[in-house]
Structure 1
């Protein structure tokens, strides 16, 4: 009988577990130390922290996970050991005491071992102690994750270093997504973890179960503004180490598609300058430009017009003229996007019917811009704009690099690079 099948030494309704939970919730380190180091009957005791088996009580309300028609019989049962608790809490002295009494460093009745817990909490000293007592650095959890897969925070860098020093595999795929540790680092913008894994031989273009490389994963993960700089550093590192800028996932989406889907101009610029294809189409027929236009109204604070500029200045084809009213409808609340896109055409026939797709409150909020747009309904574009388009056509996908070399004032260079002015002329 496996350790997870036997009856727990301390069931969830026991007096010991009630005291243990009280100590955990109250962050009472002294009481917790006494309980797990002195009060348990043996060092590898199985402790049941939770058990919501509704089948044992027919009158109990069904949990949300029990869907009508599916009738899943799964329930949450949380088993652990004193060593796992000590490692999860970062109590190094307790871990040392329990290991000294012969605790099994790889016991995992709840699906995760003590080493998993130490890495998840970023407790380097605990991880090193466990490894010194021959904990398996590649032990898989019930979810198929090795300890390296649980090094998910900046604080866990020391744990990752210790694991690699003790022979952990940097290539190991884990979990349902078959992510490598490098994918995990990319998902969370852990640039120092990524540097460490690459130094230990991680394959920069290894694919996970969705066909994504680490670069693709990093570009596709939604980021808080304070994480953007780290994400940019990580992607620059991957590209320097040879990551393919155009690697496609199972949906034929490139890293550029994903960066544009989150309207990240700095990341789009980095990818484009490493050869990413601005013309690429995914399985749905969407280009990177289409992706940022789909996002624009949802993320105006990301200044999506900057991403549109980057794409157009690197040779991205613009929107088919007949589809422009659809773009106007979806992006009306971000007129800078409309301006940049409109100025990429030498001449685009403006229709009075376009007013119908712009909500009245949006029109009034951006009245100056939309009045300038509809003023062009019966007027050709000015000669200066036509010259701009001729120069841009000549430079093609090298606009971003050639325009700054022209002996022109900065204001004119910005004009050639489609810098929005707030009105159309």
Structure 2
């Protein structure tokens, strides 16, 4: 009977907290039958209150309940007046019944009023959740900017890595979620622009990787803006993570010409090799036919105009295997060589249906890539490009030539080979 009465009292207490009924909460506490820090079971389908240690096995089904103290419930239901009453009555402010302190929860829901209240009552600004994250790591939305500002003013460490497998700083986190306002705030408050996580990735690499939404097949402009901010603050585009990939490798994997141009203009090295000896152009070749939202020919043109290594001529059939549906990309690649000699693998790499659809182009390809030399105009183009090397993209712009000739030198496709 006593257990039933306590259970009923807990239910009344929880309902009063959720309804922001401070008067009833006080009445229940003053009966002396319920501890102010009692742990309650709360509906939490969004897992706002829960934090779990990495490496622990979790059931496959979605967890719908969490444990919480009264102050956590107040934060979750925006019961500010009731929270103030609990704090005045001596409620614990740094408790973690299900892995998060109330301050973590307030940042999770982007409630700056609660962040202010909790900080004014000495909440630990750099406390770690069970998963090893600080409150600053939970500021992951535009609405969280005020929360983050308050945390930093109270001493939050913008360079503190999470105590988790990733070891991400707050800058890594907002680069992944693409919150330009928070990126700018952290950089202004001393965040290390080239901080490394456990995989040796910088925030720039993180933003570059997540700039493409594989599910929706769209490029995220906010991630591009984050990359722009990081580069403007001195991020090094040529740092390599544990597999030796650079940010340019990741942008090439996404077939993201906007980001690739940004990185190349910042000095990204097109000849950097990953642990398997692959340059960004090899990454581009691997994904050309699975990026329907991309404009691959621009990506190839950018890389080759910045002195990217070309495909070994006897292996050129692999270009046709990846790009046979994109004659403009093939044209750009072919025109980067003085001459190419076809092998019996070339024609086999182009499906008959595709060959018929682009017959004019492919007929010109096989005609040009015969044993006869290319035109003098093309050979002159190749000589200029070889002379300029990595300065080709910028150098051509300064040559006293008509704009049409500059485009020709920079491999602007025509739709047919001469």
> Shorter chain as normaliser: what TM range?
0.7 to 0.9
Structure 2 unaligned spans of 5+: 45-55
* Residue 120 (structure 2) pairs with residue 132 (structure 1): yes
| 1:411 equivalent in structure 2 | 404
SS at match of 2:340: coil
Aligned to 1:303: 295
Distance 1:135 1:398 in 2: 55
1:397: how far off?
Answer: 1.0
How far 1:399 moved relative to its partner? 1.1
**Partner in structure 2 of residue 284 of structure 1:** 276
- The 2-side partners of 1:188 and 1:314 are apart by 30
Pairs within 5 Å for 1:50-65: none
> How far apart, in 1, do the equivalents of 2:57 and 2:174 lie?
33
The change in CA–CA distance for 1:34 and 1:335 in structure 2 (over 3 A counts) is farther
Counterpart for residue 142 of structure 2: 154
Deviation at 1:103, TM superposition (A): 2.5
2-structure distance, mates of 1:400, 1:10? 75
CA shift in 2, pair 1:377/1:270, >3 Å: closer
Equivalent-residue separation in structure 2 for 1:281 and 1:359 (angstroms): 31
Question: Do 1:10 and 1:47's aligned partners in 2 also have CA atoms closer than 8 Å?
Answer: no
Q: Is the 8 A contact 1:36 1:82 kept in 2?
A: no
Cα offset, 1:227, TM superposition: 6.3
Match of 1:338 among 325, 330, 333: 330
Normalised to the residue count of structure 1, the TM-score between the two structures is 0.82
Aligned to 1:164: 152
Alignment of 1:33 onto 2:15: no
Change beyond 3 A, Cα 1:131–1:298? same
Residues 32/303 of structure 1: CA separation in 2 closer, same or farther (3 Å cut):
farther
Specify the SS of the correspondent of 2:41. strand
Matched, 1:194 2:183: yes
Larger CA deviation: 131-140 vs 379-388: 379-388
Conserved in 2, the CA contact under 8 Å of 1:189 and 1:230? yes
Q: 1:382 aligns with which of 370, 375, 382?
A: 375
Return the alpha-carbon distance in structure 1 between the equivalents of residues 250 and 135 of structure 2: 28
How many Å separate the matches in 1 of 2:68 and 2:229?
Answer: 39
* Deviation digits for residues 354-374 of structure 1 (CA, Å, limit 9, x no counterpart): 222223343344344333323
The 8 Å contact of residues 211 and 219 in structure 2, kept in 1 or not, is answered as no
Is 1:395 the counterpart of 2:388? The answer is yes
1:79 aligns with: 67
Residue 238 of structure 1: aligned partner: 230
**CA offsets per residue over residues 11-59 of structure 1, 9 Å max, x none?**
8xx8977997xx9xxxxx99643499747855433122479xxxxxxxx
Q: 1:377 to 1:417 in 2, by over 3 A?
A: closer
1:252 pairs with 2:239 = no
Residue number in structure 1 paired with 2:210: 221
Quick one: structure 1 residues 15 and 382, their matched pair in 2 at CA, closer, same or farther if it must change by over 3 Å? Answer: farther
Match of 1:320 among 312, 315, 319: 312
Aligned residues: 390
Q: Distance in 2 between matches of 1:96 and 1:420?
A: 68
What's the CA shift for 1:388?
Answer: 1.4
Q: Structure 1 pair 34/387, CA: closer, same or farther in 2 (3 Å)? A: same
In structure 1, runs of 5+ residues without a counterpart are 1-6, 24-28, 52-70
**Structure 2 residue 76 is the aligned partner of structure 1 residue 88:** yes
Q: Secondary structure at the match of 1:33?
A: coil
The Cα RMSD (Å) is 3.2
Q: 1:320 to 1:159 in 2, by over 3 A?
A: same
Give the Cα–Cα distance (whole angstroms) in 2 for the partners of residues 211 and 126 of structure 1: 35
Contact 1:194 1:234 (C-alpha < 8 Å) held by counterparts: yes
- Is contact 2:22-2:81 (8 Å) kept? no
Deviation at 1:274, TM superposition (A): 2.3
1:111 Cα deviation after fit: 0.5
Are residues 1:421 and 2:414 paired? yes
Q: Distance in 1 between matches of 2:260 and 2:406?
A: 21
Moved more, 295-304 or 42-51: 42-51
